[in-house]
Structure 1
Amino acid sequence: MKHYWLLAGMLALTGCQNMEAVSPWLEVGNQVAKNAGYDTDSRLAGGIKEVLHTSTDRASASLSQTGAFRLRLPASARPAADTMRQMGFGAYVDQLENAMNRGAEQAVVEAAPVFKQAVTSMTVTDALGIVRGGDTAATDYFRGHTETTLRQRYQPIVEASLRKTGFYDQYEEVLAIYEKLPIANKPNMNLESYVIDNSMTTLFSRIGQEEALIRKDPVARGSVLIGQVFRE
């Protein structure tokens, strides 16, 4: 038997596609629940935010480890990289990729507070729509509503991390060699955007994996509050 039958009924309504029609009923249900002593708003929002905070912490800790990122040059640049290796310049390619990956790992640590601040700003309405969604519903919603803004804030963090690892110095050396190679139709090597895009995608993916694990065992992998929100 499900606990908090009133809350469950409210959440079932959120599955309807026409949320505008459902909203008045959600408000009524919320008020009735509050009158009965259940602060559904704060409990739901708190539980969802805690899931994302915990998932972000664990994802950041995992991806900050050396070797967590294994980015290679983008597919469009690999023929050129292969040519460089064949001509004896493979060490330059390896150093560039190494600096690229170490920069992505360092950026994850620096960016964690930025992501968590975005989680904190989520509204109660957001929480109502994702508490009973799929395994990565919270992460998907979070990404869909914050990615553009987060990318703008993430970019300087990635740039600073790449600078620390010597990425730009390696990049210039590779470009200098690359430009002299007898390769027709040379691809654009905008590696900075490539690192930003891939590291953000990897971070969101890992946050989603952590969310899925929490949903499967909310108390053991999360907390009592999360367990109450996701209990059957």
Structure 2
Amino acid sequence: MKLENTPFKKISITFTLVTAMLLASCDTLSQLGSALDLGTPTESEINSGLKQALEYGTSYASERLSKEDGYLGNIAVKILFPEEAKKVENTLRSFGLGDLCDQVITSLNRAAEDAAIEAKPIFVAAIKDMSITDVKNILLGSNNAATQYFEGKTTTSLEGKFKPIIESSLTKVGATKYWGDVINRYNKIPLMTPIDPDLSSYVTQKAIDGLFYEIAKEELKIRENAAARSTILLQKVFGYAEKQGK
């Protein structure tokens, strides 16, 4: 049976057209929001909009890093040997002990991934404590103003939360053993100066550095990319910031 001029074909064509229109609308929603004059946001809208964006961005960053390979698979935040131990790694690899070095690197990153999710409540608390002055300064500040705020307000809490988790995880995933093997083998090599870096402090700091790196990416995205503003409120607040010279 041919479908020409049948009711079924007419319905099918109509459905296709409606679907295409809906998809186009979704793709251009944020652009339309930016193009329209949504007006000047109230103080309450600025407060709610910025905090909404910050809570999403920090939660997304910590959740992404807490997944398997969140650190290990992300070259920008992947934790490698401490700088003072680079010579250790290079020397051991030259002796055919590359697998042992790789085990150390994997275990360091697994420890950081175990700790990353614990950042969420710390950031939520910092966001709730923001005054309206803090909010306005962040909104109208530099492209990493929020990241800088979090670094100042949460680093000490993150260190206190991360370090015991990382110490436990380093033992659980075998990093302590692998690291001990690496250092012992290196320190036995003639003419080498013995070293013994504080592994848990190093991984804790690198894990936090990676977290702030990802938060900075999320902050820049919502400031510069209108498509990342998923609600009218976010479009209004960050559109206002753009008009103020941001």
TM-score tier (shorter): 0.7 to 0.9
What percent of counterpart residues are identical?
35
The normalised TM-score by structure 1 is 0.74
Other-structure match for 1:3? 39
Q: CA contact under 8 A between 1:135 and 1:211: conserved in structure 2?
A: yes
**Matched residue type, 2:56:** T
Tell me the secondary structure at the aligned position of residue 231 of structure 1.
helix
Q: Is the 2:88–2:183 contact (alpha carbons within 8 Å) kept by the matching residues of 1?
A: no
Matches within 5 A, 1:145-156: 145-156=153-164
- Name the Cα RMSD after superposition: 2.4
Q: What one-letter code is carried by the residue in structure 1 that aligns with 2:64?
A: S
> Residues of 2 paired with 1:154 and 1:115: CA distance?
13
| Bigger shift: residues 47-56 or 107-116 | 107-116
Counterpart residue number, 1:136: 144
Q: What is aligned with 1:64? A: 66
Task: Map Cα deviations across residues 117-137 of structure 1 (whole Å, 9 max, x no partner).
Answer: 332222222112111112221
Opposite residue 48 of structure 2, the aligned amino acid is G
Paired residues in the alignment total: 198
Show the counterpart of 2:52: 50
Report whether the alignment pairs 1:171 with 2:173: no
Whether the 8 Å CA contact 1:218–1:226 is kept in 2: the answer is no
AA aligned opposite 1:118? A
Is this contact kept in 2: 1:71–1:97, CA < 8 A? yes
Does 2:112 correspond to 1:104? yes
Segments ≥4 residues shifted beyond 6 Å: none
Q: For residue 88 of structure 2, what is the aligned residue in structure 1?
A: 80
The one-letter amino acid paired with 2:39 is H
- The separation in 2 between residues aligned to 1:103 and 1:225, in whole angstroms, is 38
Match for residue 131 of structure 2 among 117, 120, 123: 123
Larger-gyration structure (1/2): 2
Aligned pair in 2 of structure 1 residues 166, 122: CA closer, same or farther (>3 Å)? farther
1:111 and 1:157 in contact (8 A); partners too: no
Task: Report the 3-state secondary structure (helix = DSSP H, G, I; strand = E; otherwise coil) of the residue aligned with 1:52.
Answer: helix
The answer for unaligned runs of 5 or more in structure 2 is 1-36, 241-246
CA apart distance, 1:139: 1.6
CA contact (8 A) 2:47 2:135 kept: yes
Q: 1:146 to 1:82 in 2, by over 3 A?
A: same
- Pairing 1:202-221 to 2, within 5 Å after superposition: 202-217=210-225, 220-221=228-229
Structure 1 range deviating more: 80-89 or 95-104? 80-89
Paired with 2:170 and 2:49, the residues of 1 have a C-alpha distance of 35
Structure 1 residues 3 and 183 mapped into 2: Cα distance closer, same or farther (>3 Å)? farther
2:118 alignment partner, SS class: helix
The change in CA–CA distance for 1:71 and 1:144 in structure 2 (over 3 A counts) is: same
Q: Per-residue CA shift, 1:154-210, capped at 9, x if unaligned?
A: 222322333332212222222332332224333442222221111111111111111
